[in-house]
Amino acid sequence: MVRRALKPFEANRHDRIIVDGPTVALPAKSSLVLTMCLHELATNAAKYGALSNGTGRVHLIWELLGNGSDRKVRLSWRESAGPPVTAPQRKGFGSILIEQCFVGDGETVFDFRQDGL
């Protein structure tokens, strides 16, 4: 699902999007929401971030935490070597969508570092 969500952004950038994590089964609703969030992140990276230049990279990494019914997935989207980053002055639809991506016990944290999101 992750590779399919990012496929439109890999043209001429196939070596710049690094994806790594264990196989995880998700309910259909969670999969749909996650796909939308990944598409929004990749769109922003292509417009303003690491995928908007010739050298930037995106690292999408996830890991399983906990056991049994307490099991959770921690997903990290990290951009590097892109243009200088500044936090936006306002939240648009995409930011709100991404913040709502993980409901329940989850949380979304944006860290706008100088070298990438």
* Interval 24-65: pLDDT, tens: 988 888 888 889 989 999 998 999 899 998 899 999 999 999
> What are the sequence ranges of the domains in the chain?
2-99
CATH architecture assignment, domain 2-99: 2-Layer Sandwich (3.30)
The DSSP secondary-structure symbol of 54 reads: S
The percent of the chain in helix, strand and coil, each rounded to the nearest 5, is 35, 20, 45
Q: What is the pTM of this model?
A: 0.85
Q: How far apart are CA 60 and CA 41, in angstroms?
A: 11
Rounded to whole angstroms, how far apart are CA atoms 5 and 38? Answer: 7
